[in-house]
Structure formats: structure tokens, C-alpha cells
Amino acid sequence: MTPTAPLLVLIAGPYRSGTGDDPAKLAANVDAMNRAALEVFRRGHIPLTGEALALPLAELAGSTAPGDAAFDSVFHPYARLLVARCDAVLRVGGPSAGADEMVEIARGRGAAAFTSVDELPPVART
């Protein structure tokens, strides 16, 4: 694989799916995405999670629980804007309609979609 410049990689995985909105399960899903992001970073790329950016904004918008009107006004709309600017998506974790949508948006605009950190291209070192 030819070395590339660092890619801006959105980590897409389940947040609410299968959790029943249980705070411990939501936190575990965020932790799994953050761990994947660390692996992406260690490979020389620039990882992002929508949760790290959208959740604080949803709270500022007045959200008091996942799935309330303020949450819905920010969470997925923010992710759609974010994936439109990323070079690639890394799909992690189990079933998630939202994460699958991020992959489809990325592919639809010609961006790469990966299912393993090992699939990421090496970064050219200067």
C-alpha cells in the first residue's frame, strides 16, 4: 500500500443501538469508539468521533436525555455534516443504523470506508 498524507477519519459505531439508553451502555459504546480512535491516531491518522463533538452541543441545545427533541436536532445532523468533510470512515462495533448511514454517505461521495484499523493506508513520514 502506498503511503499517504494523514487522513481525517470518522469513527462510526453504535451509540444508542442496543442500549435502551442505559448510561453505562452508552458510555461503553463511546469508550469503544474512543479506543478505535486511539488506534487510528497511533497509525498516524487524525481520528474524530461524532459523539465527542455532538454530545456537548446537544446538551447546550437543551437535551436532557438521548432521543429527546434537542438531542435529535443536533446529534445525527452534526454527524452528517462531519462525515461530508472526512477523508474516510472507520466502521466499528455492532448494529447501528446511524453508523451504517455514515458509511453510505462517505461511499456516496467517494470517500474510503474501512472496517478495521489494519485497512488504513500507511502514513508518509517526512
Angstrom distance (rounded) from CA 100 to CA 126: 35
- pLDDT range class, residue 125, cuts 50, 70, 90: confident
Instruction: Give per-residue pLDDT as tens, 79-110.
Output: 999 999 999 999 999 999 999 999 999 999 99
- pLDDT range class, residue 3, cuts 50, 70, 90: confident
**Full-model pTM:** 0.94
Q: Are 120 and 88 in contact (CB under 8 A)?
A: yes
What does the domain layout of the chain look like in residue ranges? 8-119
Decide if pLDDT at 68 tops 90. yes
**Annotation: CATH topology of 8-119:** Rossmann fold (3.40.50)
Mean pLDDT (the chain) is: 96
Angstrom distance (rounded) from CA 86 to CA 41: 15
For the segment 22-27, the average pLDDT, to the nearest whole number, is 98
Decide if pLDDT at 32 tops 80. yes
Angstrom distance (rounded) from CA 106 to CA 110: 6
State the pLDDT at residue 126: 67
